[in-house]
Structure 1
Amino acid sequence: MRFLKRFAWIAAILGVLGILAVGGLYLYVKPELPSVETLREVKLQTPMQVFTKDGQMISQFGEKRRIPVKLEDVPQTMVDAFLATEDSRFYQHFGVDPIGVARAFGVLVTTGEVKEGASTITMQLARNFFLSFDRAWMRKIKETFIALHIEQLLTKDEILELYLNKIAFGHRAYGVGAAAQVYYGKSLSELTLAQMATIAGLPKAPSNLNPISNPEASKARRRVVLLRMLDEKKITRAQFDEAVDAPVTARRHGAEVTVNAPYLAEVVRQDMVDRFGEEEAYNGGYNVYTSVRSDVQLAAQQAIWDNLHGYDERHGYRGPVSVLWSTEEGKPALNQSEIIKYLDRVERFGAVTPAVVVKVEEQSAQIMIKGDEQLTTLGWDAMKWARPYLNEERQGEPPELASDIMQPGHVIYVRTVGEDNRLRLAQIPEPSSAIVSLQPQDGAVAAVVGGYSFNLSQYNRALQAARQVGSNIKPLIYSAAFEQGFTLATLVNDAPINQWNPGAGIAWRPKNSPDVYEGPIRLRKALAKSKNVVSVRLIREVGVKTTADHIAKFGIPRDSIPENESISLGSLSMTPMEVARAYATFANGGYLIEPYVIERIENGDGEVVYEAEPQVACETCDNPAPRIISEQNAFLVTQAMNSAVWGGGSWAHKTGWNGTSWRIQRAKPIVNVTGRAITGKTGTTNDVKDTWFSGFTTGLVTTTWVGFDDVSRALGSTTMNPLLSSKEQPISGGEAGAKTALPGWILYMEKAVGQFPAEDFTIPPNVVSVRIDMETGKLSHRNDYTSRFEYFISGTEPNEYAQDERDNKDIFNNEDGLF
């Protein structure tokens, strides 16, 4: 009895000392303990996701990949896997598991080594949120106290949900939702038992047990997880046997991007960083919804690809990317596995995929394509375009045999074309291109593409490349003229200009392209046929300063507009976005809209924190856009641009003529939707370094640009390839806006125009229509092919009738005069 009393006293004293020691430790570390109250307001670092208007993912930004999930959305099997492996008594202990601590202490005493940490899920949560991962006693003590606090503050389910969303799984995946996506490209509900067990085994050592970088170690760890589940009776023996023998199927998956639009995504990323700062933008869990539809954006990207490949093919083949082996040089051929490993390292760009030529026959070749272990035949029709590229102006002789084009060992590119995805020899195009498409009523961006491949160049030519606009400036110049009382029927002398510049000691001789002159010409026809000398004469009559001031109304910085006559020929530099915005003014009846791409922003809880409130082309609306030209002025410019598509005159009487945009007539998908309510204007700089096309319906304005990033390079010219039909190569001769930029515009609009309203052009108030004589622009009594109805702003219509003999000798006072 004396011994028991002594033992009781000692135990009591040790207990008191233990309590005092724990209390002392708590008081010692208390100042360093964080407030766990923040867990109730916890904000997980969740990446920003960018979506199209119809909910397709464009991109994801953020240092950590995380897909937050609710506990009820986690399959019970996965919950069982984590609890069995990490903390089987989670729902019984108070944050610290005494049994686990005793077991870990026993191992320490018997082995002298710390082999078990006795950490509960709550303690792991404490470490992940508030502490480092250093193996130190003081960290463990702090971890214990924080865990006790957490258990007092949160329910077990809340703790488990935070844990499953917080822990790291490697490859920048945080939380089980992200782990399922990164390793398997699946949602949690789609995972197999083997895959769940693999994920549950990762928190112990995400790098060493990774199923991608270390599959054998991962498989062994998976077996441990499955054994623990079997021991806890969470799975049957049959389930264990099936899962433990399952192959390792993990591979790295990106975010669930369903629409590849990196240039658009970058516009959004920069906007979000400007709004919230980098840390908040990347990790705040924002979902950003853009104004673009997925199908329209993809149509724009495909149009860029197809149009640039069209240019590149007609200019010739530049040869293989590299040569892996050559019988002539004694380099031995690679075997199949070596070719596959090589191709795995070669990147895809845009529409092209790398391939290796294995065998060349008379007019075909056997190739191995990246991602396909089988040989594929590349036929003659897929390669006969490949006559040698000599320079931008010249192409070599067309090939006769496949061996004229490629040899075994050549690394080439291929792409797919047509609805049946036929293979075609390809190369990465040398020029660049951009498309901007806007809804003119409020400036919503319908599509934006800044280049051929974001992986090749992140430079967004749609928003950043200020290039000379060529004749795309002319509608703005004509608008300035209409502001000064000119009309669609005003006659201007389409004749050569030869002006001596005494300061420079040279003559300025602006020319038409082509170098053809028609004498007296109405402004409708002059704009439709893009007469350069007419624009020069207009700017002289209106005044350079007045014209420059008028152009600045369209959102162009005034100090960037050259105050000389060269602006009549497009010496002004603008970005495709600025051009599209300017043309939107004509489409919407005279309003300057502000382009926008973000429609709304939602936070991680689904609450809308921002919604676009764009200014609208409507005077009676709550948020009207500023009017910069009259509705009547916009209508007259639209009419002239409409003639650029449809031309005029009478072909039966040999007076018919085409405008520079006549190729749109052949685009049946566009015409079927718009009827004749479609406009367009080409643009080509004098040296053909920049080519443009801009046009619109009432619901969609689109600008395309094609040129080299190297501003010293001209786009050149081509001859017809005799091996190709006119359908296979519809364009030859000198490159120009109508040949180089317009085809891309058509390819895009054929797919996009049906998604937006395309109504007839409405005649605005205060516009009258009278019959005029097409030669003189005066009133006409005739109703035959020599006359037409023309639109005028009321009060500007002609009041004289044309003479029947059409004596026009008194129309011009001198060569450079207007009247």
Structure 2
Amino acid sequence: MASRKSPLFDTATTVGKIMSFLGVSALCGLLAAGLIFPLAASGGAAAAAGTDILEDIPAELAEEPLSVPSYIYASDGTELATFYAENRQPVALEDISQEMIDAIIAIEDERFYQHGGVDARGLSRALVHNATSDSQQGASTLTQQYVNNMLINAVVLTGEGRLTISGTGQKTYADKLREMKLAVAVEQEMTKDEILEGYLNIVLLGGRTYGVEAAAQYYWGIPASELNAAQSAVLAGMVQSPNGYNPEVNPEASQGRRDVVLGAMLDEGAISQEEYDEAIASDLGLEINREEVGCVSASMAPYFCDYVRREILASDTFGPDEAAREELLDRGGLRITTTLDPDAQTVAQDEVESTIPVTDESGAVATLTSVEPGTGNILSMAQNRVFDPDTTQRGRTTLNYNVGSDAGGGGGFQAGSSLKPFVVAAWIEEGGETDDVVDASVDEWANTERWEASCLERGYTTAEDVWDVTNVEENSNRRMTIDYGVYFSVNTATLATAAEMDLCAITDVTDRLGIRTANDNQGLSPVNPSFVLGSGGVSPLTQAAAYAAFADDGNYCEPRAILEVTDTHGNEYDVPEANCEQVIDEDVVAQVNDTTINIAEGTVAAGDPPFPMAGKTGTNDYASSTWFVGYSSGVSTASWVGNTERVLDGYNNNRVPVNGQRYEEFFGSTLAAPMWLDYMTDVGGDYDTSDFREADDSPYEDRRDRARYRDGGTVSEGDDPDTGDSVESPEGGGNSNNGGGGNNGGDDN
């Protein structure tokens, strides 16, 4: 057997290297004299034509590698999914059983080790048979068949030239001459064992299964090294008709052909009479192991798998256009290592399905998406749906609710009050403080009211219609500190804050934090003031990445899913490194965190957090979109629960339960926040859980001495907003009416 790896699978070899001797004129003369001569029996014209054809045969072919599957892996090497046009697993000859080698030689080319690529004896015998019989007999050696398969592979990959086998299933003289010429050249370039190894790895063995290793795994679930005589005879018999003798499709025909191969093995002395008798008496013994292709059969995280696939198809690193990139993915043997944490993904999937089962009659959707602060690495991406293009069944879709439309998702979801921390960040950047007092009593805005927006042409904007804004909690229309308004999600307080500043300062912050609308990947627009209450549709991944900047002192990192891409030759492809930038001052972030820590630790975790955490709820009108977006120092997670078809509030009137329970009210604190807490409790400890940085000028002596310990945040002229009795967090939440023709935005606790 070959002591070194076949050059077929080495970098910069295969057909290009194999054909290096094809310009030798002596070889052409030999072929013309020795091989064209038998053709003269069919007429002088044919012989003359054959000589002309021989001279025109190209001396070289462009190198085209074998098509091999690509794989997507989690960060720890766990295989997620396989992509292939041809299921092939190349192996060395030493990893193929001797029975398999004997079977293919016995039935296809018993003189393999005697001829030089073309078997003159076999060719003469075939010519005589074909001239005197109604049936046709071939005389292609294994080397010729190998060449033929390589030519077919090249045509499939490049789309240029023509297949050696014509549309009628017969080879022309030109095809045959070309094949023979290349076979002789290959025999001069490669050893017999190398040719045999190459052939056994390239040959089609039914369906999309190529090569003996993939075939052994598919039909019996064993490696090629363990194929016995009977199994080897089945595969060797398929070469003549890969689908006609397919044991899965035509078991009787396959078994008959197998027995013919076993007879040839007996005649050649490859097996004994006893071994022959035992093999003949056995059945096919199939144990089919189908390996589905693509993300639909991913072992976990199919929606993340689809996100990665789309990243590959969108990057010019992997080809000049999408068709070329898809060809590379299906045939190029890529090894794609991703950022996915399989442990976090498992927990996330369990959480979304336990919160709302896949086939829940409510039709509600639950998603969890995590990003690592400081790197942008996507750690998990889960939703309570089955990745399946057959959407006629409940709970099945290929739509990825975690991402925007350009990445396989939809139009996103209204952010509600999960947008409010960005308003606070802009307020602080503009010189304000979180304990500043605003007048939250105003709940109606005329369409003549001007909102400063310096980035717009007019320098201001207005609501399209009279805008009535409501709060869920009673007695919220009063003066209060900004942090109190955010903690209790008082919509009128957020609008009062925005009314005192430039709306473009807010969109400047959201732009820097990567907030984009999910349907068109554009930044938030200040044209309609309702955007400050989260009326725009954003994706959970966008939210998780933006909030990750609050976890990392204002350092924003673009989300990324791919760590490394190599191919079977060890070639590495350029993939983006972590792309991070300090976009908000760390002291501004620390002041925002003063409030969001209270929400996560004091309300969501009920005062008993497993580690330092922060976050914000969000709910739109009618509760069709509910959020909790929160973070520890090491993990930022967007938890979303909603419905793209019906609104959750309406279920109460229709008596439709969500996961078996009917809710009088439905907010971000109802399901999204508890789901987030359970997930973060399980996963957060695997990452950094250190405390958040304190603001340099924080008015609070203790990290937990913040808004929830104020006297309701209520102030009047002369009141000191930093004193008073503590208040309990409310049970409900808030929402708002239409923002002057825009989408509704609202929030809860």
Q: TM-score range with shorter-chain normalisation?
A: 0.7 to 0.9
Counterpart of 2:495?
536
Indicate the larger mover: 467-476 or 633-642.
633-642
Specify which of 683, 690, 693 is matched with residue 752 of structure 1. Answer: 683
Which residue of 138, 141, 145 maps to 1:124? 145
Query: Structure 1 residues 99, 703: closer, same or farther in 2, change over 3 A?
Result: same
The higher relative CO (CA closer than 8 Å, separation ≥ 6) is in 2
How far is 1:692 from its partner? Answer: 1.6
Q: 1:774 to 1:87 in 2, by over 3 A?
A: closer
Amino acid at match of 1:29: I
Given the superposition, is the C-alpha separation of residues 525 and 221 from structure 1 closer, same or farther in structure 2, using an over 3 Å criterion? farther
1:505 offset after TM fit, Å? 10
In structure 1, the partner of 2:399 is 459
Q: Structure 1 pair 506/427, CA: closer, same or farther in 2 (3 Å)?
A: closer
Aligned 8 A contact 1:600 1:612 in 2 = no
Distance 2:661 2:224 in 1: 52
* Cα distance per residue 1:461-500 (max 9 Å; x no partner): 2222322111110111111122233334334455462344
Where does 1:590-601 land on structure 2 (aligned, <5 Å)?
590-601=554-565
**Which residue is 2:547 aligned to?**
583
Q: Is the 8 A contact 2:366 2:639 kept in 1?
A: yes
2:514 pairs with 1:555: yes
1:497 matched to 2:436? The reply is: no
Per-residue deviation at 1:614?
1.3
Range 682-691 or range 453-462, more displaced:
453-462
501 and 764 in structure 1: CA distance in 2 versus 1, 3 angstrom threshold: closer
1:434 aligns with 2:367: yes
Deviations 1:199-256 (A, max 9, x none): 2222111111111111121122222233333333333445444443134314351159
CA offsets 1:663-704 (integer angstroms, 9 cap, x no match): 6x68xxxx44xx2x1122111102212112211111111112
1:641 to 2:586 alignment: no
Distance 1:194 1:495, change over 3 A: farther
CA distance in 2 between counterparts of 1:232 and 1:514 reads 91
Task: Name the stretch that deviates more: 626-635 or 514-523.
Answer: 514-523
> Match of 1:246?
283
1: CA distance, partners of 2:650 / 2:685: 34
Q: Secondary structure at the match of 1:698?
A: coil
Aligned residue runs from structure 1 range 17-32, under 5 A: 18=37, 27-32=51-56
8 Å CA contact 1:212, 1:250 repeated in 2: no
Q: Which residue of 2 aligns with 1:691?
A: 626
Answer yes or no: is the 8 Å Cα contact 1:436–1:577 preserved in 2. yes
Which of 75, 97, 107 pairs up with 1:75?
97
Aligned residue in 2 for 1:763 = 694
Correspondence for 1:628: 583
* Partners of 1:771 and 1:78 in 2: CA distance: 75
Is the 2:440–2:476 contact (alpha carbons within 8 Å) kept by the matching residues of 1? yes
- CA distance in 2: counterparts of 1:445 and 1:287, whole angstroms: 18
1:92 equivalent in alignment to 2:92 = no
**Worse overlay, 454-463 or 763-772:** 763-772
Is the alpha carbon distance of 1:475 and 1:31 closer, same or farther for their aligned partners in structure 2, counting shifts above 3 Å?
farther
Deviation of 1:507 after TM superposition, in Å, equals 5.0
2:247–2:284 Cα contact (<8 Å) kept = no
Q: 2:345 aligns with which of 297, 319, 322?
A: 297
Distance in 2, matches of 1:43 and 1:461, equals 38
1:444 aligned to 349, 353, 377, which one? 377
- State which drifts further: 169-178 or 220-229: 220-229
The SS at the match of 1:463 is: coil
**Structure 1 residue 589: deviation in Å?**
0.8
* 2:637 is the alignment partner of 1:706: no
Question: Cα deviation per residue 1:277-329 (whole Å; 9 max; x = unaligned)?
Answer: 332333222111111122222333333322222xxxxxxxxxxxxxxxxxxxx
Q: Distance in 2 between matches of 1:609 and 1:721?
A: 54
What residue is the counterpart of 2:57 in the other structure?
33
Shift of 1:577: 1.8
Partner residue of 1:261 out of 287, 301, 305: 301
Q: Which residue of 2 aligns with 1:143?
A: 179
Residue 149 of structure 1 deviates from its aligned partner by: 1.9
- Would you say the 8 A contact 1:181–1:253 is kept in 2? no
Percentage identity across paired residues of the two chains: 29
Distance verdict in 2 for CA 1:29–1:587, change over 3 Å: same
Q: 1:516 to 1:147 in 2, by over 3 A?
A: farther
Partner of residue 616, structure 2: 681
Q: Residue type of the partner of 1:183?
A: Y
Decide whether aligned partners of structure 1 residues 17 and 758 sit closer, same or farther in structure 2, where only a CA change above 3 A counts.
closer
Aligned pairs for 1:198-213 (under 5 A) are 198-213=234-249
- Return the offset for 1:124: 0.7
* Contact persistence 2:369–2:540 (CA under 8 A): yes
Partner of 1:183: 219
Residue in structure 2 matched with residue 716 of structure 1 by the alignment = 650
Which whole-Å deviations, capped at 9, do the CAs of 1:311-369 have from their partners, x for residues lacking one? xxxxxxxxxxxxxxxxxxxxxxxxxxxxxxxxxxxxxxxx6xxxxxxxxxxxxxxxxxx
1:214-233 pair list within 5 angstroms: 214-233=250-269
Distance change in 2, residues 1:148/1:270 (3 Å): same
What SS does the corresponding residue of 1:733 show, helix, strand or coil? coil
Contact 1:306 1:744 in 2 (8 A): no
Q: Map of 1:451-530 to 2, 5 A cutoff?
A: 452-455=385-388, 456-464=396-404, 465=410, 466-495=412-441, 497-501=443-447, 507-515=466-474, 517=476, 519-530=478-489
Q: Does the C-alpha gap of structure 1 residues 786 and 483 become closer, same or farther in structure 2, counting only changes over 3 Å?
A: closer
SS in 2 for 1:480: helix
> Using a 3 Å threshold, how does the CA distance of structure 1 residues 636 and 237 change in structure 2: closer, same or farther?
farther
2:165 is aligned, of 130, 133, 138, to 133
Following superposition, the deviation at residue 184 of structure 1 comes to 3.5
Q: Is the 8 A contact 2:103 2:229 kept in 1?
A: no
TM-score normalized by structure 1? 0.69
Alpha-carbon distance between aligned partners in 2 of 1:758 and 1:107, rounded to the nearest angstrom: 81
Cα deviation for residue 77 of structure 1 reads: 2.6
Letter in 1 for 2:372: Q
| Letter aligned with residue 757 of structure 1 | D
Deviation at 1:787, TM superposition (A): 9.8
Equivalent residue in structure 2 for 1:50, among 72, 86, 111: 72
Q: 2:744 corresponds to which residue?
A: none
Residues 532-541 or 446-455, more deviating: 446-455
Q: Match for 1:279: what amino acid?
A: E
Give the Å deviation of 1:714: 4.7
Structure 1 stretches of 5 or more lacking a match? 1-13, 310-350, 352-425, 616-624, 648-658, 778-784, 791-798, 807-819
* 2:574 paired residue number: 610
Residue 356 of structure 1: aligned partner: none
Tell me the distance in 2 between the aligned counterparts of 1:701 and 1:16.
72
Is the contact made by 1:717 and 1:733 (CA closer than 8 Å) also made in structure 2? no
CA distance in 2, matches of 1:30, 1:169: 31
Cα 1:236/1:694, change in 2 over 3 Å: farther
